Amino acid sequence: MALVDAQLSFRAMTREDFTLLSEWLATPHVSNWWREEFDLAAIEARYGPVIDGRDPTECFIVERDGHPVGFIQRYLFSDDPDRQRILAPAGTPDDAAGIDYFVGSPSLIGQGLGTQIIDRFVEDMWTRYPAIAAVVVDVSVDNRPSWRALEKAGFSRAWTGALDSDDPSDAGLNHVYLCRRDQG
């Protein structure tokens, strides 16, 4: 089936998805960039508060034609001032939101799925959050497939450098990409 004919949907992640998330996080094409523990206890500690509503981050399982194919999350800078501070060198607006994402299966890489996921998710964000001015993503300079997907989805590179962050996924040089509301 051609990707352009695929039905993409985003459903709220549940604890029942933790095993699948663990499997995806353990794959090299994900673990190279998502440098976090992927055992079930670590996933519960990281994502359990989201599921329980104690963390305002929204996490979703991406489905294509009803089958799980990836993960995407979003957060408002107003809910995460530390992340806003970390990304400030890129000139990110205060009234922005951030996203993080990955395609789960290595067999789905290189088909344009990442771009399509990002594009559709950002479209939804403009509706869900009418007050945000931009969507922001930081990505390792070495993760060319990810930053190319962002560019194809209409994001512009705003900055490149080392982020002042304790998050292991932010180690090294990163590009920061922005999609402003008037771009999207």
Mean pLDDT of 84-107: 93
Q: Are 133 and 93 in contact (CB under 8 A)?
A: yes
Q: What does the alpha-carbon distance between residue 67 and residue 182 come to, in Å, rounded to a whole number?
A: 32
Q: Are 179 and 156 in contact (CB under 8 A)?
A: yes
Which residues have a Cβ under 8 Å from the Cβ of 148 and sit 6 or more positions away?
Answer: none
Would you state the pLDDT for residue 184? 52
pLDDT digits (tens, 9 = 90+) for 49-77: 999 999 999 999 999 999 999 999 999 99
Give the residue extent of every domain in the chain. 3-180
Return the CATH class of domain 3-180.
alpha beta
Helix (H, G, I), strand (E, B) or coil at 71: strand
Is residue 2 very low, low, confident or very high in pLDDT (cuts 50, 70, 90)?
very low
pLDDT digits (tens, 9 = 90+) for 8-41: 999 999 999 999 999 999 999 999 998 889 999 9
CA end-to-end span of the chain: 27
Would you state the pLDDT for residue 183? 60
